[in-house]
Structure formats: C-alpha cells, structure tokens
Amino acid sequence: MSPASPTSLYGVLGLPVAGNPTQEMIEAAFDAAGLDARYVSLEVQPEALADAMRGARALGFPGLHITVPHKVEVVPLLDRLTPAAQLSGAVNCIKREGEELVGDNTDGKGFVDSLRELRDPRDAVAVVIGAGGAARAIVAELALAGTARIVVANRTLGKATEVASQISAGTGVPVESAQLTEPWTVPGDADVVVNATTVGMSDPAGRIRLDWSQVGDGAIAADVVIAPSTAFLRDAEEHGHRAVDGLGMLVEQAVIGFRWWTGIEPDRAAMRAALEHELGLG
C-alpha cells in the first residue's frame, strides 16, 4: 500500500482570529467537495508576521488568508501581486504558485460578485461611503469592473481624496471625493450606494444620516457590515431601493479564495449555511 498523501493545510493569519467565520465556510466547502484538506485560524503577533510567512512557505501551505492587522505589512513578504492587490496596497488572500507566493485582494471582488446578483457594475454610478481598508478595496474593484464614475464620501475628506486620486490614476475611471456631513444628500444619479464604514458594526441601530430623496427608485444599497440587515439597508429599502447585505460579500470572498486555491467551484449554499450557523443566524 502506498502511503497516504498528506492533508493539504490552508489557513488565516490575523490578530485576533477568534470569531472569524471563514474557517467554518472553507471547511464546509472542503467537506462538500470531498477534499482531504484542513483550514486553521492562526493568531500572529505583528512582529512575528515575517517568521509566520517563512513558516507557511516551509510547510507548503497552498493558500492563506490574511486579515487585520497584517494586510498591508504582508505585501513586501510576497513574490507577486495581482492588479487588485497592487491598486489597494493590501493583500487578504495568498496562493502558492510553484515556489512563489502571489497576493490578491478579494475584499472588493467578493463585494462586486455579490452585487452582480442584482446588477452588473459596468457603466454604473457608484457612491462609496468611507475611505478605510474596506472602502479602498471596493472602490478599486468597482473601477476595475468598469463603473462609469465613483464618488467616495468620507468624514475625513483627506482620506477620501487620497483613495480617489490613487484609484483614478491607476484605472482611468473618474473617482471624486466628497466631504461626508450629516445629513448627507446621496447624489441623485447614484445606481449603487455602499456603506463601507464601520458604522452599524458594533451598534446595530447605528447609522449615518443620509438624505435619499434625490435618488431615483431601484438603486442598490450595499452594506459591508456582516449582518442580514442594518439600519442603512432598512432606510434604503424604505425609499424603494434594493439591499445587498454583507453576508453575501463574505461568502463570495471565501468562494473566490477557494476557487483560486483548488480550481474547484465550491458549494456556496453549504458555505452560506456554515456562515449563518457560525453567526448564530441559522
């Protein structure tokens, strides 16, 4: 009898990683696909990141997720970056290709794939509220997906201006910045409005006060907050708009990593069920 081939080991490096539901989603997909693979959530201190990456290389991890606070610091430890990772300056998903580690940023891709269930972002006018890491990844991916125009609105205008000028220069898509005041009037030609701030994350009733009155019916409101509904989404629905929740974005992000790593289309429904179970929703 020939010896069994070793179990493939995947994982996420972050701090903290407790409560990160990606392990449950990816392992549900491994089970559904009948793969002999495991996914581990590993807590790594910032000063240990370079050693951890050397260890992952030595151990032959075929794929890794990287989460807060390592998404920017991991960049110089990699051999190559995808265009999305170059544009956002941050990596959350790594694939080993031969001896090389390739970094991608799937934060925005997961968002765009979950948006695509309702509409193609091509030629859309998008408004992104926020200018942190999540917002930057989403603006980059919307631009790469061919949106006509993007407005980045942030409480701290300088951060919005920086994101806007970098993504515009990198893609040729017009990206403007705006000062987010409250209440803020959502531009009337918006097709897609994204809450990419942390508002609503710890306080489910938390909301940025928005005036939706100028926006025509049937726009799409999307929230990065990981919850089936938020005050932002409920307000938008009351004004006749359609909602995309943050759970779909998280599932699509895990789907993209799984597909990239294994070449197999994962069982989305099993992943969504695992996510809902982990969050106490299912």
Catalytic residues: 71
Q: Which is nearer to ligand ATR, 56 or 142 (CB)?
A: 142
Is residue 193 within 8 A of residue 127, CB to CB? The reply is yes
Q: How far apart are CA 172 and CA 201, in angstroms?
A: 32
Instruction: Name the minimum Å distance from CB 36 to ligand ATR.
Output: 34
Residue 149 DSSP one-character state:
E
Residue 225 DSSP one-character state:
S
Token pair 């809902």: residue? 276
Q: How far apart are CA 132 and CA 165, in angstroms?
A: 14
Among candidate residues 87, 32, 35, the one with its CA nearest the CA of residue 261: 35
Binding site for ligand ATR (CB under 6 A): 130-135, 154-156, 159, 197-199, 208
Q: How far apart are CA 71 and CA 223, in angstroms?
A: 21
Instruction: Name the minimum Å distance from CB 235 to ligand ATR.
Output: 15
Residue 222 DSSP one-character state:
E
Which two tokens mark 41?
């959530």
Among candidate residues 187, 170, 132, the one with its CA nearest the CA of residue 154: 132
Q: Which is nearer to ligand ATR, 199 or 255 (CB)?
A: 199
- First-to-last CA distance in the chain? 43
Residue whose C-beta lies closest to ligand ATR: 132
Q: Which is nearer to ligand ATR, 33 or 227 (CB)?
A: 227
Instruction: Name the minimum Å distance from CB 225 to ligand ATR.
Output: 10
**Secondary structure of 89-146 as H, E, C letters:** CCCCEEEEECCEEEEECCHHHHHHHHHHCCCCCCCCEEEEECCCHHHHHHHHHHHHCC
Instruction: Name the minimum Å distance from CB 156 to ligand ATR.
Output: 3
Q: Which is nearer to ligand ATR, 132 or 170 (CB)?
A: 132
Instruction: Name the minimum Å distance from CB 83 to ligand ATR.
Output: 20
Instruction: Name the minimum Å distance from CB 210 to ligand ATR.
Output: 11
Which two tokens mark 63?
């794929």
Q: Which is nearer to ligand ATR, 147 or 197 (CB)?
A: 197
Q: Which is nearer to ligand ATR, 108 or 121 (CB)?
A: 108
